[in-house]
Each structure stands twice: as C-alpha cells, then as structure tokens.
Amino acid sequence: MRLLALLAAVAAGALVAAGTAGATNECRGFQVCVPVAGPWVLAPSRAETQWQLSCPRGFVVGGLDAELTSRALDLVFRATLGSPVNPGISTSTAAIFLGRLSLGRDAAASFRPHIGCIPAAGRGQRVPTARVFPPGRPTTVRASEIAVRAGATRRVTRACRAGESLVAASHAVGFYRSSPPTRALAAAVRVTRAAAKGRVTLVVRGGRALAGTRTVVQLDLVCGGGA
C-alpha cells in the first residue's frame, strides 16, 4: 500500500509538471509506470537536436515514445551497450532523445518526447560485451534549462564539474504546451552559443510572441573524465 501511495504521488507530480501523455505508449507492458511528457522541442533542420528527459527520483526509464509534427522527423534515443537490453542496463534515470529533419527545412518542426518510468529496485546487472573493456559511460551529459522570457535577453554560462573536461555542447528550444509551437513561436526565440576555455555561454533572446507560453532552452554539456 505504501508503494502504491508513493507511485500515485510521484505520478501526480510528474503529470502536473509535464502534462498528460495522451495516446502515447511509453508505459505499455508495465504494471507500475509513471509517464513523463517533455516539451515540444524544435528540430527544424538536418542538424541534430538533443533533449534530455528525466524520471523522478528512484525510477529508471522503462519505455519511450514521442509525438511528431512531421513524418520527415527522424527520432532516436541514446542507449548504453549491454546484455540483456533492459531498463537499468540500456537506460538510466534519464533518456536523451536525438532528432533531426531528414528532408527539407521546417522552422516549426518539433517533437514531444515521452518516457515511462519504473521503480529502479531490481534492475539487472550489466554483462560485459567486450573482452578488454566492457562498454561503459565515459562521458556524462550535464543538462540545464534556461527560462526564456518574452521581450528579454539572458546571458548564461555553464561548465563541466571539477575534474571533468568539455567534450561537446548542444542546445535545444522547448515549449511546454499541449499543442505544437506555431511558426511565430518558433521564430520568437533566438539563441547564440559560444565555447571558450571549457565554458559554454548562451545568449537567449525572447520575442513578445512568447507571452503566456512557458519556453525553455536546454543546454547539454557532454563532459568527459571525472570520478
């Protein structure tokens, strides 16, 4: 009973924060599962767009799904090698979605990621798949979200943790709303990114059209080394 009460509370909190998952199937096949929906993420070109979506504390990703505004959107997620392919082995407490527009260009093309989160207890153990070094996680994605305000400009700088080195960086724009962003909303966010001496700086400009829409920019730093 305590577990059911905890799951109900976590599910309610996740749904309030992220919205309902609608007709998606991220929890199909699981008796206990918390659905978490992300924002609508812009993926307007063939350049890869990355978005990280996290489970509540104590849960791992068990299932994934997404909504797309275009059939030309190619969407996959980053998994870790191992056997068997199972939650807690191929996935962790968060999922990184990778999307790109395979044909043409559409300034408002977007995807909405969904994950189904299951209790972390009882997850499998990794079985090495290489004779010298088993596949692992030599890099870590440090994600942070920057709120975009209508009519305002923000400058934000982020870096990897002490002992880590910056391998790569990317950013993506997300809109927390029930329907996909319009072209006017997509055009209302301008982001420039620069990296120097292991630090990444974003300058985020929000247009007036964003008023009333929760809009964020997620900055992902791929960091290597560390403990």
Instruction: Give the pLDDT confidence of 21-43 residue by residue, as tens digits.
Output: 458 999 999 999 999 999 999 99
* 189-196: strand order across its sheet: 153-159, 199-206, 189-196
Cβ neighbours, 10 Å, residue 204: 24
Rg from Cα positions in the chain: 18
Alpha-carbon gap, residue 138 to 222, rounded angstroms = 10
Separation between Cα atoms, residue 206 and residue 204, nearest integer Å: 7
Contact at 8 Å (CB) between 60 and 118? Answer: yes
- Residues sharing a CB contact under 8 Å with residue 78, sequence separation 6 or more, in sequence order: 95, 96, 98
What's 210's DSSP letter?
A: G
Amino acid at 62: G
* DSSP β-bridge partners for residue 156: 202
Task: Give the pLDDT of residue 134.
Answer: 54
- Spell out the alpha helix ranges (H) of the chain: 2-18, 183-187
Burial class from Cβ neighbours inside 10 Å (0-12, 13-18, 19+) for residue 124 reads middle
Nearest to 118 by CA among 226, 215, 20, 14: 14
Alpha carbons 225 and 227: distance in angstroms, whole number: 7
Write out the chain's pLDDT in tens, 227 residues: 444 444 444 444 444 333 444 589 999 999 999 999 999 999 999 999 999 999 999 999 999 999 999 999 999 999 988 878 888 888 999 999 999 999 888 999 999 999 999 999 754 444 344 445 555 667 899 999 999 999 999 999 999 999 999 999 999 999 999 999 999 999 999 999 999 999 999 999 999 999 999 999 999 999 998 65
Question: Is the separation of the CB atoms in 78 and 113 below 8 Å?
Answer: no
For residues 51 and 97, is the Cβ–Cβ distance under 8 A? yes
pTM: 0.81
Give the single-character DSSP code of 160.
Answer: P
Task: Assess whether the previous peptide bond of 84 is cis (omega < 30° from 0).
Answer: yes
Helix or strand or coil: residue 16? Answer: helix
Please report the pLDDT score of residue 60 as a whole number: 96
